[in-house]
Amino acid sequence: MTHDFPPLKNDRILKAAKGEKPDKLPVWIMRQAGRYLPEFMEFRKQHSFFEICQTPALACEVTLMPIRRYDLDASIIFSDILVIPQALGMTVEMKAGVGPVLPEPLTLENMDSLKKEGAVSRLKYVGEAITLTRHRLDGKVPLFGFSGAPWTLMGYMIEGGGSKTLSKAKKWLYAHPNESHRLLSLLTDVIIDYLIMQIEAGAQLIQVFDSSAEYLNKRLYEIFCLPYLKKIAQALKIHLKESNQDVILVLFAKGAHFCLEEQADLGYDVLGIDWTVEPKLVRSVLKNKNITIQGNLDPCALYAPKEEIVKMVTNMIDQFGTERYIVNLGHGIYPDAPIDAVQTFIDAVHSVKL
């Protein structure tokens, strides 16, 4: 599909992802388009969460909010990982102060009622938001599309929302492995088609969020996650090759420090690292892997005084080194992050001489 998008003016993140040298270190922030921005909170008084997700003009507006305010090097389309369970026929509510709630969680008995057929066509609005946003960005920075990973989606679907232990979803892994694989396969198929749709709509990078990886161990991750994450990367790479496109693939498996090497062999161009992992350890474990690292300032570091933030950022960059590196937080930004601290963070990154 040709879209005639405006030419890209800032390719720092694409360069870093491919192992080329950018003019400055690229920086963006997970969950940058949302809740900590006063303009977003104002916007949310007029529109419900899923109304914004499902209305391309509104999703585009929110995506652009942090780009107007800050000198970020990438944008990420406003949406949520839970639009997939929604498209599969599950009810998802966004409750103020609680987070996402799925009032009728998935069970062994009702899992066959998931509506795989047509799921991606019910997510067409995400593609439309991406295309519109690519035009409105006017080439200022590249645009990320994203999806939840199979295991993270499975967790929310079975738990019916967030959970401290994920014990209901993990029970499936231990007690019902066949049904778990059936569900993870179904989600993988939908995720692949969904991400291809986002690429065709104009996404220049894709991030897969496995935010619930931290609840598993190496054995469970090898059995129930790595094969599916690999299938996703391979299918996307085949699609990109056949359609002669160049799109960067990023995997953020939060807390999966028990299998960094295995993650590096899945076919993604970039690995996101959470803040609990030592930068030097990451670099030493992955030194022969030709992979770019993204991360990993503790989101809570933004509560520190300005001078401390600058010191922590400089120290982090020293430890990661400036090659094959994209600066980010080690998880999504929190709703009460001071907006000046975000500016300090970005300026500290961009002031590093390469």
Ligand X SMILES: Cc1c2[nH]c(c1CCC(=O)O)Cc1[nH]c(c(CCC(=O)O)c1C)Cc1[nH]c(c(CCC(=O)O)c1C)Cc1[nH]c(c(C)c1CCC(=O)O)C2
Residue nearest ligand X, CB atom distance = 34
Nearest to ligand X of 49, 194 (CB atom): 49
Q: Is 36 a catalytic residue?
A: no
Residue in 73, 80, 210, 269 annotated catalytic: 80
110: preceding bond cis by omega (within 30 degrees): no
State how far Cα 104 lies from the chain centre: 26
Q: Write down the least CB distance from residue 332 to ligand X, Å.
A: 4
CB of 53 to ligand X, least distance (A): 8
What's the token pair of residue 118?
């047509």
Kindly state the smallest distance separating residue 107's Cβ from ligand X, in Å: 21
Among the listed residues 36, 70, 156, 268, the single catalytic one is 156
C-beta of 163 vs 319, nearer to ligand X: 163
94/285 with CB nearer ligand X: 94
CA dist 8 → 19, 20, 92, 142, 321 (Å): 18, 17, 36, 7, 26
In the numeric block, which tokens belong to residue 233? 């990367």
| 44 flagged as catalytic | yes
- Nearest distance in Å: CB 253, ligand X: 11
Binding site for ligand X (CB under 6 A): 30-35, 44, 49, 76, 78-82, 94, 99-100, 146, 162, 209, 211, 332
Q: Closer to ligand X at the Cβ: 252 or 325?
A: 252
What token pair was written down for 211? Answer: 């935010």
Measured from the CB atom, the residue of 51 and 278 that comes closer to ligand X is: 51
12 noted as active-site residue:
no
Surface-to-core class of residue 141, CB atoms within 10 Å of its CB (0-12 exposed, 13-18 middle, 19+ buried): buried
As measured in angstroms, the least distance from the Cβ of 307 to ligand X is 28
* Main-chain dihedrals φ then ψ at residue 337, nearest 5 degrees: -65, 130
Nearer to ligand X, 94 or 240 (CB): 94
- Is 68 catalytic? The answer is no
* Distance between CA atoms of residues 34 and 38, nearest Å: 9
At 352, phi and psi to the nearest 5? Answer: -75, 125
Give me the catalytic one of 44, 69, 122, 283: 44
Q: What share of the chain is helix, strand, coil (3-state, %, to 5)?
A: 50, 10, 40
Contacts of 74 (CB under 8 A, 6+ apart): 13, 26, 28, 141, 142, 143, 144, 205
AA identity, residue 78:
F
Close Cβ partners of 174 (under 8 Å, ≥ 6 residues apart): none
**Active site residue: 11, 12, 31, 36, which one?**
31
CA distance 34 to 43: 10
- Shortest Cβ distance from residue 59 to ligand X (Å)? 9
Examine the residue annotation and report whether 35 is marked as an active-site residue of this protein.
Answer: yes
Q: Shortest approach of ligand X to residue 313 CB, angstroms?
A: 20
Nearer to ligand X (CB atom), residue 94 or residue 111: 94
The alpha-helical segments, DSSP class H, found in the chain are 12-18, 38-46, 49-54, 56-69, 83-87, 124-137, 150-159, 167-175, 177-201, 218-224, 226-242, 260-264, 279-285, 306-320, 339-350
Q: CA-to-CA distance for 224 and 227, rounded, in angstroms?
A: 7
Question: Which residues participate in catalysis according to the annotation?
Answer: 31, 35, 44, 80, 156
